[in-house]
Structure 1
């Protein structure tokens, strides 16, 4: 009788002890796994945030190079600043001798023209930047136009006639928070993390000031520290559900309380733990859009491949989509993403299975070919560059093109990062010479800021002497693509968005209703008769619903990206009669 009681009791007590031990071990293991994964994400996204902020800071470097090359002079500041602007930039400024004299955009930023060295909130840190030859950031502070931002001040030093260095002033950019790093924090939030980004309040201070953080509570966060200029930044993350997996603990406890489920319970815990670990490792190394390696995953695998085979020849290629911003502007970011997916899929289909593929971010991709030289890889890379690439939009296929630069290890580089810089220099050279090509690195090539190259459509069209639009040359689908400021002013539209909204992006909705059929027939009759330079007189619908008598001069052309389009220049009919009455009367 005692045996029947003592043995079951002993087994029960032993089971409780074993269950308690296993639950305790499982809790510690799960916490360690979560902290390891969280640290990996903090490092990955902290580095991405650093790069995104650094990209914003590069605007001050671009202005700095212009000022140094022009001996402290800068012409056409507004035009240069406009080309440097992006969605996350509030304003661009220059401050000779520490006094802000030029701001773009000027409207709404008049109060920013201050003397930095005599302003109570800015003088100390501005003097520090000047005296220590270091870039500094200040903020966050509330913006009048929108939410919050922080200022980046980059000191400039020139040399006088005697070769002595002197302080010229600052180039400044105001970056919006969280716009400058919104992609990173959105991705991290989707992964189930709370986050906090802080920076030292001042270079001489040990106190950190929060730049931006999520709404949830931060409990024992892991952190990643990085430096921008001479300033320390800290990025902290913690799981939204906390470090302890209470659900898992309860499950394991229940399983081990029942001796018959001991084995299955242990197996489940091990499988769940392994699955979670693999899942987060894959997420940390894979680009969520294209399903190939992200920059972190590519760099890590490339480093391992090259370290394991130090004498093997490798070819690294960097490529991006030509005029990708134009694809996003015309078709929207959804179809821009489709172009990125299409490019990634074509890379996976074209290159051998042992090729390492990655997406650096944006529209830039990277390739690492093993056991080959530039000469051996040339034909393959040239063929891939010329391979037709398309994306689908509203049932139609549109072509896009790429530029690709490549370099060889160890011929031109001693490590992975140097190899990619050489490939980047070759890609930069392609961009300088018209894009849509493939080039190997050679000595003498230098990398640069590619996003500032060339002429954008806006650069050209906004300086045309007349009102100008572009729309699709299709009888059924006359979609409006673009209108310059002179057209918007002439027709009374506040901006392109209002034009698109009122006209539903259709050219025929700009024509007075009772003239539409006649005008459209006239346009296409001229085209069908072989006249590509059509002149049409009609009543143009203005934003307020009134009409303006205009003469349009249209030309139909073939665009390799958008098919047939109309380029149309508008002239005020009445104004033409007033200005050229003698010619009309004759």
Structure 2
């Protein structure tokens, strides 16, 4: 009897233990899978929310472009239809301007004419429009149903002008009506293809915390993850969750059934642990890998370099920074898909060119980095030059297009004592290459200034490229007037396609921009003004263009002391004929 009871109890205890073990395993797997799916959903929510934000910013960019035109023309916008036509995109319903808050111009007008209303006093639009005007902030209103079908969001950008006394006054609004979900169709399609339910919402107005739905999938959502971002003082929120739920219950039914037998339980446990470990490894790999190119991202690159330098503190090594020359032009001319192909092509050329022990990474955008262990300047010099000259192409419409890169590199411990400083040195060397015409490589030397990138990056990129005229910097030397920098407008004015082409035809000398018969007179006038104590001078001359023709220009120069180059001229050059056409009714011009 006791033996029979024992025979019954042991299997029962084993069964109970098996059930307990199986239950614990199932619970752990469910929790892990839930966390895994949650993490993945959070990454997707962040990624596609930022993409949607970027998409909306493109629509905002249209209103800001109109704003700049209105400001530059002192409140006028001639040929509005032509300007608006050039700005139209598939996701734009209409482009409008509203001087004094009243919509007077709409493109296209057909089907949108009813939009000509007084925004500041309209019952539905007045309060938020007044808020935008009074708080100097861009606002987005909607979604609302369009008469043409579908839904839209109105982007209203307030514009302010200065009067003669310098006082700011409200001019009106530049407006774009964007269609939803057309503007972020790629993002919502991607979320659907990846098996997610989603909901995009935004606050009703900048002063309210209540959310209204902008667009969503058709399915129900339970405990979604969310990612928030701000545009125009309003909070936006993207919520996502898997269509099949956070946990697939059918999977666990199979696991429980298989766990009834101890062998299958152990086999299932082993297999599940392997799957979980593989998933963890995949996530670790994804965390340090750039999804576009397949090489390390900046985090993965930094970790490996830091680890090598920590384990080999006395060994020499090289860090290089490189980026694609005129990458924005590739995107503008051929589209972002072609730009992505160029980045992928550069990554593949790096992988095929450098040894397998080299660490390759993408910092973001078109910037890449390389780490060569157990390497010195002498070892790297020829290698870097060869890689810079190595042909690089991308395909567009079955045609191969070439592009070039700029590269700077630095050696540890010659230039730096740690990884961060070493990367900064390589970055400074890269920027030196950029300043000297791009398409080249350079090693960091002690003469380079660590601050130059920050200083020039702000002054040249953010200011000079947006001046309403051509801008040039050249050496203030009577015998050696070397050109250091020219903005895109000057390059365009000379009829060149690049800085390199302009430097070639001028032989890097400002003197060669001046018509030959005027050179001596102009240079004499400049230096007479400088020697008389004037730091500013105004000169009128004929500029020699690349095709041999001449363009009358007005030169406004200033001589300054540069800690890096000594005395230099900062010169703003304006098209004389254009100035006469635009300001003849205000200013009387005369030839010198």
Report the TM range for the smaller structure's normalisation: 0.5 to 0.7
Q: What residue ranges of structure 1 are gaps of 5+ in the alignment?
A: 456-586
Superposition pairs of residues 59-208 of structure 1, within 5 angstroms: 59-145=62-148, 147-208=150-211
Distance 1:226 1:271, change over 3 A: same
By how many angstroms is 1:235 displaced? 0.8
- Tell me whether 1:222 sits opposite 2:214 in the alignment: no
The structure 1 residue matched to 2:275, chosen from 253, 272, 275, is 272
By how many angstroms is 1:163 displaced? 2.4
Match of 2:352 in 1: 349
Q: For each residue in 1:163-204, what CA deviation from the matched residue of structure 2 results, as whole angstroms up to 9, or x when unmatched?
A: 222222222222232232223333333322211111111112
- Tell me whether 1:401 sits opposite 2:418 in the alignment: no
- Tell me whether 1:232 sits opposite 2:235 in the alignment: yes
Q: Is the 8 A contact 1:289 1:341 kept in 2?
A: yes
CA distance in structure 2 between the partners assigned to 1:254 and 1:45 by the alignment: 39
The structure 1 residue matched to 2:461, chosen from 447, 472, 478, is 447
CA distance in structure 1 between the partners assigned to 2:27 and 2:370 by the alignment: 47
Q: Is the 8 A contact 2:319 2:423 kept in 1?
A: no
Match of 2:446 in 1: none
Q: What residue ranges of structure 2 are gaps of 5+ in the alignment?
A: 443-451, 467-486, 490-592
CA distance in structure 2 between the partners assigned to 1:386 and 1:215 by the alignment: 53
By how many angstroms is 1:325 displaced? 5.3
Match of 1:485 in 2: none
Q: Is the 8 A contact 1:425 1:448 kept in 2?
A: no
CA distance in structure 2 between the partners assigned to 1:418 and 1:176 by the alignment: 44
By how many angstroms is 1:34 displaced? 1.4
Q: Is the 8 A contact 1:40 1:284 kept in 2?
A: no
- Secondary structure at the aligned position of 1:224 is classed as strand
CA distance in structure 2 between the partners assigned to 1:307 and 1:417 by the alignment: 11
- Secondary structure at the aligned position of 1:447 is classed as helix
CA distance in structure 1 between the partners assigned to 2:229 and 2:282 by the alignment: 26
CA RMSD between the two structures: 4.6
Distance 1:105 1:188, change over 3 A: same
Match of 2:577 in 1: none
CA distance in structure 2 between the partners assigned to 1:416 and 1:114 by the alignment: 59
By how many angstroms is 1:216 displaced? 2.2
- Secondary structure at the aligned position of 1:21 is classed as helix
By how many angstroms is 1:93 displaced? 2.4
By how many angstroms is 1:126 displaced? 0.8
Alignment: residue pair count: 437
Q: TM-score, normalised by structure 2?
A: 0.61
By how many angstroms is 1:128 displaced? 1.1
By how many angstroms is 1:242 displaced? 0.3
Q: TM-score, normalised by structure 1?
A: 0.62
- Secondary structure at the aligned position of 1:114 is classed as coil
Q: For each residue in 1:492-518, what CA deviation from the matched residue of structure 2 results, as whole angstroms up to 9, or x when unmatched?
A: xxxxxxxxxxxxxxxxxxxxxxxxxxx
381-390 vs 130-139, which moves further: 381-390
Superposition pairs of residues 335-346 of structure 1, within 5 angstroms: 341-346=344-349
Q: Is the 8 A contact 1:201 1:208 kept in 2?
A: yes
Q: Is the 8 A contact 1:302 1:416 kept in 2?
A: no
- Secondary structure at the aligned position of 2:366 is classed as strand
Q: Is the 8 A contact 1:321 1:402 kept in 2?
A: no
Q: Is the 8 A contact 1:136 1:153 kept in 2?
A: yes
CA distance in structure 2 between the partners assigned to 1:148 and 1:139 by the alignment: 8
